[in-house]
Structure 1
Amino acid sequence: MNPSLNPTPSRQPAPATIARLLFDSAQRFAGHAAIEENGMRLDYADLPDQALQVTRGLMALGIQAGDRVGLWAPNSREWILAALGIHCAGAVLVPVNTRMKGVEAADVLARSGCRVLFVQQRFLEVDYPALLAPHRPATLEHLVVFDGAGALPAHDLSYSQFLRGAATIEKLTAERRALCIGPEAVCDLLFTSGTTGKPKGVMSAHGQNLRAFGEYVRVLGLGPGDRYLIVNPFFHAFGYKAGWLTCLIAGATILPHAVFDAEAVFERIARERVTVLPGAPTLYLSLLAHPRLASTDLSSLRVAVTGSASIPPSLIERMRNQLGFSVVTTAYGLTECGGLATLCDPQDAAEVIAGTSGRPLPGTEVSIRDPENRTLTQGETGEICLRGFHIMQGYFQDPAATAEAIDADGWLHTGDVGRLDPAGNLVITDRLKDMYIVGGFNCYPAEIEAALLGHPAIAQVAVIGVADARMGEVGCACVVLRQGQQLDEQALIGWSRERMANYKVPRQVRFFSALPLNPSNKVAKNDLRAVVAGA
């Protein structure tokens, strides 16, 4: 472990629950803005009262410690306050993906047993309560509607009505509830993306989240005065835990951003003096490709965090030189480990930051294993397995799936493929599910994507496996060209044949003006497969 990643002793123990973090941060960072949104500024000193108002409202509705409470809304100040209020009530936060349809959201709410749902009235022309109504589970007792207008069904409340109900519960009663929570208590239930079967609810606890992201804060050097633009959605660990929860640990100012748009992000960076901007590589590629790059004031930018198996070192250098980041690093995690497992030292060379995801957090381990669950040696490629304090408590009410994911020795089997380099950095090769087989050879798309990004005409690329009568499967490269560049299918295939093994060379090339992205700004490969199959 590089000395810069070693834990340093603190004069007082860090808060071990989100409720205690809330009270601690209010004292330590009083006078600093906790949240700024649409010209409204909420000071850290005032944050506990605002959050406890939500806690009191939930207690007035009969919510007990351990009850599940859903949250279906875009990034906003209300999302954060609702989440903190849920945490302080000792309840379990269940974020719902804003891209879900009514039946999908209802499935998550029913299987988690949510009694209350905070929900946005309308977002991106979607009426969420109306979307849910035909599928609403009987276990969902109340909707609390942000920006609700008009009459609501019985037992449902506008947010202002909900807050009025808080007056029936004494503030001291809510504080006592908040301070009774232990670090091992489950604080959230995040549902996985459900690539195989239905999404599964991942249970993680207060203490493990704060310990992991306390390390994240320390390595990145975040602190009061940082202004953190959170484009990643709050329903995802990157926007929630590596986003606003991280800000509360550091005393940084949270700048929620509901919908990614390069123009709007550019304007906010300049106008609001953004210093921290994490995101998927596609976010930075979009900014670098923006026609106003040279004329926009990006001088406030300081910290960038990204993660992917296919980042060219040139992107890291461009982020430093053209976007002005002095701290650029990569990380790796998944929902089942709270969103963070390894972290790269920002002082490492661009090749290390681009080509690896860094080393395990202190108190955690990474092991590369073969299909028989045997440990592989350094440099060998296999399944990435994790063990340590940050591993989930399990899948909610699904012991069989939990036992399948976490073996008897406590190793979480991630389904990701990778290896460890001589310095102990994790190199991600790919997702097991994205691997395809060409003539008996395993092909890992991320490895091929990294090679293709070396072509001077290519801005972005995603590789997928497609059916082939002779080979079983072959690779298809889905390409976005740099502005003003030209390239055709045969030229790229020829270029590839000179630079990679024949079985890795894409047999097909499709050109796109933009690749489809999921809400986390990662390429939506299932959407690409559907487009290519239908072409």
Structure 2
Amino acid sequence: MTTTYLDLINRGAKQYPNRTAIVYEDQAFTFRDVDRLSSQLAHAMHEAGARQGDRVALLLNNGPNSVPLDFACVKAGLNRVPLNARLSVNEHVKMLSESGAQRIVFGADLAEHTAALKAEVPELHCHGLDSSIGGGTDLLRSARTQPESAPTITVKDDDIVLTLFTSGTTGTLKAAQHTQASYAGICKNVLMNLINVEHDDAMLHAASLIHASGIFVLPFWLRGARTVIMKAFDPTAFLDLIARERITAINMVPTMLQMLLGHPDFEQTDVSSLRQVIYGASPMPRPVIEQAMAVWGRERFWQYYGQTECPLTITVLRPEDHEADLLGSCGKPCVDVELRLIDEAGNEVPPGAPGEIAVRAPSMMKGYYNADQLNAEMFTDDGWLRTRDIAVMDERGFLHMKDRTSDMIITGGYNVYPREVEDVLMEHPAVAECSVVGTKDAKWIEAVTAAIALKPGQQATEAELIEFVSGRLASYKKPRKIVFLDSVPKTAVGKLNRKALRDLLA
């Protein structure tokens, strides 16, 4: 028996009952408050008919109930299936079908959306938080009369506690399953490799808590530190909260950092408390990270590379390595992660050669739900997880990402990695965003095609941008076509969505 997710929740609650655990707008909740409410919600879900092992979908925007509800699912022995609130009813219907979830817990602001889901899936049991539809349960109301101690359940290391749909760009709907043990492993991975949480620390969350941002909650909970939650990212409010709440850590995606850089208060904000600016999820354009470091200082910036299938950190680029060519790296392998680069047959590639990243770690998923064929493809016979990411390891031990295998462009017999072209285009002063894909071409089979969003008031022509790239990369890597858009397609968590762009251009 190893340490479980439930063990870590109980440990934090017991050790720091009177400290502030959660801050949301003008509300503050102690560890005792969160522990009590999560236990009552666990009982309320059992009373509503949920049983240990059931898959329960969660449709919730960031708010004061985000953490108590997650903890309640663990205490009730439920397998939570978070649904991103930005997706459509049709997408959610498909996710409910794919995951087999027969119950959903929804926030009051998403009651109308849930009613539309219920209309499409009549057998769906709907439980609200300060809300109810179609005669369903209001779990918060029910929780008020429930016991304040958690239900008595027995858990095993391999019990599934989380089934999370990935935001990958391949177009295939995949649901990664994490267990009691693997989620505890994620917490240890973060504390060991990325952030040494101290007693009086505070982390600000503006990205959705159902993805990478939420993974930081448990490490902070375990150390008696605060989790400060925003409903959604707003640059003005974000900068204000860093100063007002004495925030010590933030987790960013490139789009968020770009918006902060463009804010008039960026350079004036008091960031004296801020020790770590953590970024990952998608590659950070070099001009963006260089500008941010020039203002806030290199010593604050930490990059991680990970996947939903193996959160949170597979590799980490530490502040002292944020320089020169290493800015194009994603760091060195984490101490609790085994990593190797392999070819299609599963053999290790020679040093310096590109290969697919394969990993083994306590934090990796048990497998995709209901996807035997996909699991057979993703796991090697000896238990290594194939990431579908292509990288090169340099002689210093730093991993340099090339791209996802599904995004590689083959043009005229040459391989082109979109990220390399995107990084160059982002150096052009008129370019705000860009995404590069391959499109069908009679001559080249695939033509390197760039979608560009220009900065307000800026201009650039197709010929100018192509010439800009051709002076910096091999000729075969330069875009053959440029398409100008108001914004480039992204996933719900802010990553470039090359699959959507390919579909749009087709």
With normalisation by structure 2, the TM-score equals 0.91
Map 1:264-303 onto structure 2 (within 5 A): 264-303=237-276
1:162 and 2:142 matched: yes
Match of 1:133 among 118, 129, 133: 118
SS at match of 2:448: strand
Partner of 1:213: 187
In 2, Cα distance between equivalents of 1:394 and 1:453 = 36
SS at match of 2:252: coil
Change (3 A) 1:494 1:512: same
The list of structure 1 runs, each at least 4 consecutive aligned residues, that deviate by more than 6 angstroms after superposition, is none
In 2, Cα distance between equivalents of 1:264 and 1:531 = 34
What does the per-residue CA deviation read over 1:241-265, in whole Å, with 9 as the maximum and x for residues that have no partner?
1x32332234331122232232332
Partner of 2:294: 321
1:87 and 2:62 matched: no
In 1, Cα distance between equivalents of 2:398 and 2:235 = 32
Q: Which amino acid aligns with 2:182?
A: Q
1:398 and 2:385 matched: no
1:26 and 2:7 matched: no
Deviation at 1:368, TM superposition (A): 1.2
SS at match of 1:182: coil
Change (3 A) 1:517 1:231: farther
C-alpha contact (below 8 Å) 1:309/1:429 kept by paired residues = no
C-alpha contact (below 8 Å) 2:340/2:359 kept by paired residues = yes
Map 1:233-252 onto structure 2 (within 5 A): 233-236=208-211, 238-241=212-215, 243-252=216-225
What does the per-residue CA deviation read over 1:96-127, in whole Å, with 9 as the maximum and x for residues that have no partner?
1212322322332233332431112335xx82
SS at match of 1:338: strand
C-alpha contact (below 8 Å) 2:341/2:355 kept by paired residues = yes
Match of 1:496 among 469, 482, 493: 469
Deviation at 1:471, TM superposition (A): 1.6
SS at match of 2:35: helix
Deviation at 1:310, TM superposition (A): 4.1
Change (3 A) 1:269 1:527: farther
What does the per-residue CA deviation read over 1:8-52, in whole Å, with 9 as the maximum and x for residues that have no partner?
xxxxx9x82222212211233344321111211011233221211
C-alpha contact (below 8 Å) 2:462/2:482 kept by paired residues = yes
| Aligned length, in residue pairs | 505
In 2, Cα distance between equivalents of 1:481 and 1:334 = 30
Change (3 A) 1:82 1:518: same
SS at match of 2:92: helix
What does the per-residue CA deviation read over 1:147-201, in whole Å, with 9 as the maximum and x for residues that have no partner?
426xx323x112333324x52xx455x3532xx3233322111122475565222
C-alpha contact (below 8 Å) 1:232/1:521 kept by paired residues = no
Partner of 1:7: none
C-alpha contact (below 8 Å) 1:309/1:428 kept by paired residues = no
Change (3 A) 1:309 1:232: closer
Deviation at 1:484, TM superposition (A): 6.1
Deviation at 1:455, TM superposition (A): 3.4
SS at match of 1:278: strand
Q: Which amino acid aligns with 2:306?
A: G
Deviation at 1:83, TM superposition (A): 1.0
Deviation at 1:409, TM superposition (A): 1.5
Change (3 A) 1:270 1:515: farther
Match of 1:385 among 352, 358, 366: 358
Partner of 1:54: 41
Q: Which amino acid aligns with 1:160?
A: L
Q: Which amino acid aligns with 1:153?
A: G
Map 1:107-506 onto structure 2 (within 5 A): 107-123=94-110, 127-136=112-121, 138=123, 140=124, 142-148=125-131, 152-154=133-135, 156-164=136-144, 167=146, 170-172=147-149, 174-177=150-153, 180-193=154-167, 195-196=169-170, 198-218=172-192, 219-236=194-211, 238-241=212-215, 243-307=216-280, 310-323=283-296, 326-351=299-324, 354-481=327-454, 485-506=458-479
Change (3 A) 1:441 1:397: same
In 2, Cα distance between equivalents of 1:395 and 1:506 = 36
Is the deviation greater in 347-356 or in 226-235? 347-356
SS at match of 1:347: helix
Q: Which amino acid aligns with 1:163?
A: A
In 2, Cα distance between equivalents of 1:130 and 1:335 = 29
In 2, Cα distance between equivalents of 1:240 and 1:137 = 31
Q: Which amino acid aligns with 1:393?
A: K
Is the deviation greater in 284-293 or in 85-94? 284-293
In 2, Cα distance between equivalents of 1:472 and 1:113 = 40
Deviation at 1:80, TM superposition (A): 1.4
Is the deviation greater in 356-365 or in 436-445? 356-365
In 1, Cα distance between equivalents of 2:490 and 2:235 = 14
C-alpha contact (below 8 Å) 2:44/2:139 kept by paired residues = no
Change (3 A) 1:444 1:404: same
SS at match of 2:313: coil
C-alpha contact (below 8 Å) 1:18/1:88 kept by paired residues = no
In 1, Cα distance between equivalents of 2:487 and 2:199 = 37
**Structure 1 stretches lacking a partner, 5+ long:** 1-12
SS at match of 1:127: helix
In 2, Cα distance between equivalents of 1:276 and 1:84 = 22
Deviation at 1:486, TM superposition (A): 4.2
Deviation at 1:230, TM superposition (A): 1.3
Partner of 1:4: none
Deviation at 1:530, TM superposition (A): 4.6
In 2, Cα distance between equivalents of 1:225 and 1:119 = 32
SS at match of 2:29: strand
Q: Which amino acid aligns with 1:292?
A: D
Partner of 1:75: 62
Report the RMSD for the aligned CA atoms in angstroms: 2.6
In 2, Cα distance between equivalents of 1:113 and 1:309 = 30
**Structure 2 stretches lacking a partner, 5+ long:** none
